[in-house]
Amino acid sequence: MSDAAFISDAVGEIRDSYIAEAELLLHRRQRPFLRTLAAACIALVLLALPVGAEMKNGYVSNLLAPLYGGSQTEIVDSIGVPLDASVTVGDYTLKADAVIGDRYNLTIVYSLTHVEGKTLSEWTRFDGWKSQGVRRNSGYLSHQLSEDGKTMHLMERLTGNQRLFLFKRDFQVDFTDLIIWDPETAVAHPLQEGHWQLRFTIRYEDTTETVWRGRKAVTDQNGGVFTIRKIELSPVGMHMDFDFPACYFDDLDKGHEAFRVRVLLKDGTIVPIEDFGMGGHGKTNGETWDYNFRAMFDLPIPQENIRSILICDTQFPIT
């Protein structure tokens, strides 16, 4: 299927899905006449939207967010800023501050504060964490206490081997029970019981670009041959498709370690990619497997600063 046909079909599904759900919501909240009128207005708005608006930055999801009980999100300098996405339980307020990502990677920054501005322990943690609304393969949560000790920044990092979003971007995250973790005794001390739930639209500017496409073989230090087919890049991370060699079918970990990826900057700095995900599929009696590599950079790297991608010491120039 061509890209144009794919986008056209996707937009059609987006419109059908949102119209159906809008009618369902309106059925619960409006009288029959108003329900029909409102659904018709929504249909006209959706039909007038630019093709691919939802796929690019979640425009449709943001427009209808109030219907789903979520907060809207503005885009400021390519970064999503959730509006009024905060909740207070007891003495602690959790707020969604920023969203940054690309086609395959996403980071959401939250802030936790005490309602009276008191300092927090560096080991303040939530005992439970669950998010939904993203087609991801993996995710983890990191913490960083502000210099004044009054704000705990939580960074939720999600990554996937396919588009994280295609249709709706209605995102929900639930945190439960604040604790103070003691790393020496591995014991959690209760701080505040409760359930903090945030619901908002995931929006940001996806600047992913295909920077290389073809078939180019690279050889690792063990003699394994990987054939690179496509490399996609953004300031946030990278994604690539390639053929995984049969010599590693019985020892995938060895193959993953051998597939070394680094970023060569124009100033000569080499940035190793150590935090990444890999996976794929194929027949055990085949010569190769269809594989993908995905990684989020520790810090954003503007594409204009990159000279090339080094894969097993083979250079793929970025122009």
Q: What is the per-residue DSSP string for 81-108? A: EESS-EEEETTEEEEEEEEEE-SSEEEE
Q: By C-alpha distance, which of 53, 56, 62, 57 is closest to 82? A: 62
pLDDT at res. 53: 66
Model-level pTM greater than 0.85?
A: no
Do 293 and 240 meet the contact criterion of CB atoms below 8 Å apart?
Answer: yes
Tokens coding 197: 């739930």
The residue whose two tokens read 């307020």 is 93
Please state, in angstroms and rounded to a whole number, the distance separating the CA atoms of residues 302 and 318: 12
Report how far Cα 142 is from the mean position of its chain's Cα atoms: 15
pLDDT at res. 69: 77
Please state, in angstroms and rounded to a whole number, the distance separating the CA atoms of residues 80 and 204: 5
User: Each residue's pLDDT tens digit in the chain (319 positions)?
Assistant: 444 444 444 445 445 554 455 445 444 444 455 545 555 555 555 555 554 666 677 777 777 777 767 888 999 988 999 999 999 999 999 999 999 999 999 999 999 999 999 999 999 999 999 998 887 778 889 999 999 999 999 999 998 888 888 667 889 999 999 999 999 999 999 999 999 999 999 999 888 999 999 999 999 999 999 999 999 999 999 999 999 999 999 999 999 999 999 999 999 999 999 989 999 988 767 789 999 999 999 889 999 999 999 999 999 999 7
Tens of pLDDT along 129-178?
Answer: 999 888 777 888 999 999 999 999 999 999 888 888 866 788 999 999 99
pLDDT at res. 100: 94
pLDDT at res. 168: 75
Residue-by-residue DSSP string for the chain: --HHHHHHHHHHHHHHHHHHHHHHHHHHHS-HHHHHHHHHHHHHHHHTSPTTHHHHH-HHHHHHGGGGT-B-EEEETTEEEESS-EEEETTEEEEEEEEEE-SSEEEEEEEEEETT-----TTEEEEEEEEES---SEEEEEEEE-TTSSEEEEEEEEE-SS-S-SS--EEEEEEEEEEEEETTTTEEEEEEEEEEEEEEE-------EEEEEEEEEEE-TTS-EEEEEEEEE-SSEEEEEEEEEGGGTT-HHHHHHH--EEEEETTS-EEE--SEEEEEE--TTSSEEEEEEEEE-SS---GGGEEEEEETTEEEE--
Please state, in angstroms and rounded to a whole number, the distance separating the CA atoms of residues 51 and 13: 12
The residue whose two tokens read 């087919």 is 229
pLDDT at res. 37: 54
Amino acid at residue number 314: T
Tens of pLDDT along 195-228?
Answer: 999 999 999 988 899 999 999 999 999 999 999 9
**Residues shown for the chain:** 319
Q: By C-alpha distance, which of 190, 171, 85, 182 is closest to 127? A: 190
Angle formed at CA 106 by CA 152 and CA 307, multiple of 5 degrees: 110
